[in-house]
Every structure is written in C-alpha cells, then in structure tokens.
Amino acid sequence: MPKGTACYSLTSKFGCTPEAGVGLLQAAEKAVQRVGLSFHVGSQTLDPSSYVDAIRIGGEIVKNSGVDLDVFDIGGGFPIPGLGMDIPPLSAFFDVIRAEIAKLNLPKTCEIWSEPGRALSGSCSTLVVRVELRKGDLLYLNDGTFGNMFEVFSGHWKNKAALIRPARRGRKAAGKVMAPFRFYGPTCDSIDYMEGPFLLPEDVCEGDWVALEGMGAYMAASQTHFNGFYSDQQVEIITDALSTRRTHMKAVK
C-alpha cells in the first residue's frame, strides 16, 4: 500500500500490484479451502485516512477477482501515543475503518481481521540505560542500536527521554535547564549512534540513567549479542492493584 503517513513503510520489499492481486486471489481459490486478502499501511501510521485508500484498493481487488473472500485482513499500523507526535485516538482509526468496510460488498461470512501489535505493546515498556561517558553533547550508553535501541537508531521518531539520578551522598539533584544530546552505544561499530536530539538536563553526567518511553514493541525482539553486550533484566511494575495492566521496565546492567 502507499506509504502515506506511516513512519515505517513496508512497500519497498513486500506486496504486489492490484492487478497481480486479482490473479493471486483467483489462483488461491483453486488451491486452498479459505481465501484471504491482507495488506499493511505501514507501521506507526499517523493519519486514519491511510486506511481509506488501502481498504478501497483491497475492495477493488476482491471485486475484480470475483472471489468470495473468507478473510479480509487490514493488517496493523496502529500507532502508540506520545513520542512527540500529534496522533488521533484509536477510536478515530476504528471509525474510518468501520465506515470504509461497510462500503464493500463482502460476503456476510467474511471475517475482518486486524493485527494491532505496536498499539497494544508499544507503551507498556520503558528502557532504562546508564550513561558511561559524556563528551560534550555526546552520551555514551551501556546499550545501543545492536541491543534494545534499534528503533531509536532508525530516527523515525524521537523517544521521550527522562533522566534518573540515583540519590547518593554529595550528588546534587539534576538541574532544570534542558539541552539536546546525542547517543552512542557501547559497541565497536561507529554506526552504533543515535542522532536525537534527546532533551535532558544539561548537567547530565556519568552514572546517571536515562529512561526511554514507548519501547515495548520491538525492543527485546531486535536485541543481539554483538560484541558480547546483552541484558535481559526486566522489572515489572503494577501501577494499580485493581488493574491487570502492567508496565515493564528493562534495565541494562
């Protein structure tokens, strides 16, 4: 599907033209018991209207194929809030999707599927990393792009950063004046670098910790053991005794 407002486009590697989709559906109908069509508008989609074109194109493929569809899968792409972005509520996405699907002449038995992975898991985890060295506006951290910070490296958005300064005798509380910083990870590779800018107190120093929000979707999934750096330490925080919602914090030793 067209990239639209998605932060991550999947169009360069995956998919087919609408014309090819017609032939694929017709071929699938002859070979399988259940036939489905799926698409993806791209990850972290910022505008509900992206689903309008996608559903319309998908509907045209189904119509032109003459196949009675069993599954119409609208994929994922639903965004997580925050990260410095102006994002409509999920209800706005659902309203658009519901209205567009109603325009399609799908069989009553056709199932509508969705895959809201990032929207469900993205905001549940915060990554906490330690500042090992500071050089001007560069902070050298104990985790990086080969670890839990691949999406920070990608630069599609700026994760909200917060400073955590352990209370120790003789150490002052962090200042209130903020300044932009860049990050380096711990490995030997120079691409282990995150441009930012990440706003933190200007007096950030070695031994401080930095918390990065919105890391739940692909943080652990993209982690490697490159250069021997790896951590699987997780802390689970239940913020409301009456709620089943849990927040996970991953601290890199």
124 in active site: no
Q: What are phi and psi of 153, to 5 degrees?
A: -65, -35
Q: Is 204 exposed, middle or buried (0-12, 13-18, 19+ CB in 10 A)?
A: buried
103 and 132 belong to one structural domain = no
Q: What is the pLDDT of residue 46?
A: 84
Q: Read out DSSP for 107-175?
A: -TTPEEE---HHHHHGGGEEEEEEEEEEETTEEEES--TTTT-HHHHH-SS---EEEE----TTPPPPP
Q: Read out DSSP for 166-232?
A: ---TTPPPPPS-EEEEEEE-SSS-TT-EEEEEEEEETT--TT-EEEE-S-TTTTTTT---GGG----
64 and 140 belong to one structural domain = no
Residue that is last in its domain, among 115, 141, 156: 115
Mean pLDDT value of segment 111-139: 91
Instruction: Indicate which residue of 7, 110, 188, 205 is catalytic.
Output: 188
142 and 101 belong to one structural domain = no
Residue that is last in its domain, among 70, 91, 115: 115
Q: What are phi and psi of 100, to 5 degrees?
A: -70, -40
Residue that is last in its domain, among 92, 115, 138: 115
Mean pLDDT value of segment 19-28: 96
The per-residue pLDDT for range 196-250, each reduced to its tens digit, is: 899 999 999 999 999 998 888 888 888 888 888 888 778 877 776 444 444 555 6
Rounded to an integer, what distance in angstroms lies between the CA atom of residue 58 and that of residue 37?
8
Residue 10 has pLDDT above 60, yes or no: yes
Pair 55, 97: CB distance under 8 Å: yes
45 and 74 belong to one structural domain = yes
138 and 43 belong to one structural domain = no
- Please give the model's pTM, rounded to 2 decimal places: 0.78
Q: How far is CA 204 from CA 25, 83, 191, 252, in A?
A: 57, 21, 23, 18
138 and 31 belong to one structural domain = no
224: containing domain: 122-251
The per-residue pLDDT for range 101-110, each reduced to its tens digit, is: 999 999 999 9
127 and 237 belong to one structural domain = yes
Asked if residue 1 belongs to a domain, the reply is no
The first and second tokens of residue 129, run together, are 């990393």
Q: What is the pLDDT of residue 245?
A: 45
Identity of the amino acid at 90: L
Q: What is the pLDDT of residue 123?
A: 81
177 and 109 belong to one structural domain = no
